[in-house]
């Protein structure tokens, strides 16, 4: 092989080797650009509390093309901070409130409830939406219980499918206690604390009456808030609400008889009601959805903490420790079917 051919092959090899460095660098630059660029929606997204990498858009779900719209906002699964669920739901509600073309909102709910704080944040935003004078219809499908009912209480009307379970008005606190097991194993936790109740929720000590009394007071406070929300939203006497709010689950028919639901029907009935209340009979129906950008998907995949399979199994059995507007049995039932 002559010298010129050898040099040509060598140069070609160097060129290909360069690509091994250039392609990853280009990929990193592309991701960085997409995540950091100041596009025209950046400031409005930041103000609305939309997580980085997420953009909202209206997906038509009817053939009508009228300018006036009925907006559908889906609230599915456990109400919790997981996967930015709270932030994205709040952003959708803000979008519906500020869009002049949206004349009414349907909350499409399929949820067993969730933690007290997340539930309250969404409920507060729904109340803000109500100040825009746009009718709000809550549509229940399959399960709409506890915290899911909490956020629905301010709605102008509630429509439920015939087989939906709802109600479960109440609060629960659960915490795993390993004291008996550690005693049998001869394992002891050394604890140095500033006051007697500092470790009252520790799984390594025997529960004591004082700690239970403190937690019961917190549960009662959240329960009173729940009763107040239902009483105010449904315009029901508080005494009647407390009689209904013993934690039990109601069928759609029972809920209607008790005044917790207005109508038994299907999604098209909720749409019809929204059009009537908003006086927008020709309105098109759209669903406000989130579009996750490439950079958002990339960072969610690589920066989200992955739990071990055993921990995920435990989470399906019980919610994490804390105050919840939820029924653990309904949570398990919902998760086993999704």
Catalytic residue numbers read: 146, 198
Q: CA nearest 140: which of 128, 124, 153? A: 153
The residues, any chain, with a CB within 8 Å of residue 1's CB and separated by 6 or more, are none
The tokens 């002559």 sit on which residue?
Answer: 2
Two structure tokens written together for 189: 């936790």
Whole-angstrom distance, CA of residue 226 vs CA of residue 332:
22
For the chain, the first-to-last Cα distance in angstroms comes to 66
Whole-angstrom distance, CA of residue 60 vs CA of residue 53:
22
Q: How many CB atoms lie within 10 A of CB 122?
A: 22
């Amino acid at each position: 092989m002559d010298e010129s051919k050898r040099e040509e092959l060598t140069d070609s090899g160097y060129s290909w080797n360069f690509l091994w460095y250039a392609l990853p660098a280009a990929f990193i630059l592309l991701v960085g650009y997409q995540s950091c660029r100041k596009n025209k929606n950046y400031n409005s997204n930041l103000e609305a509390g939309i997580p980085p990498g997420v953009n909202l858009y209206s997906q038509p779900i009817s053939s009508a093309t009228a300018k006036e719209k009925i907006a559908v906002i889906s609230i599915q699964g456990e109400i919790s901070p997981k996967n930015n669920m709270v932030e994205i739901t709040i952003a959708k509600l803000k979008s519906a409130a500020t869009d002049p073309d949206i004349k009414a909102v349907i909350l499409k709910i399929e949820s067993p409830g969730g933690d007290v704080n997340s539930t309250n944040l969404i409920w507060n935003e729904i109340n803000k939406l109500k100040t825009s004078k746009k009718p709000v219809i809550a549509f229940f499908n399959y399960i709409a219980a506890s915290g899911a009912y909490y956020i629905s209480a301010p709605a102008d009307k509630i429509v439920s499918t015939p087989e939906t379970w709802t109600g479960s008005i109440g609060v629960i606190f659960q915490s795993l206690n390993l004291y008996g097991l550690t005693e049998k194993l001869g394992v002891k936790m050394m604890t140095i604390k500033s006051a007697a109740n500092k470790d009252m929720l520790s799984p390594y000590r025997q529960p004591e009456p004082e700690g239970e009394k403190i937690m019961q007071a917190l549960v009662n406070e959240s329960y009173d808030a729940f009763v107040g929300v239902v009483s105010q939203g449904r315009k029901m006497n508080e005494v009647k609400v407390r009689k209904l709010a013993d934690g039990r689950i109601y069928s759609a028919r029972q809920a209607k008889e008790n005044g917790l639901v207005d109508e038994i029907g299907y999604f098209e009935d909720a749409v019809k009601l929204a059009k009537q209340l908003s006086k927008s009979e020709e309105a098109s129906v759209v669903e406000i959805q989130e579009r996750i950008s490439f950079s958002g998907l990339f960072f969610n995949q690589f920066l989200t903490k992955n739990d071990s399979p055993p921990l995920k199994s435990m989470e399906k059995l019980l919610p994490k420790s804390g105050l919840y507007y939820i029924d653990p049995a309904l949570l398990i039932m919902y998760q086993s079917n999704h």
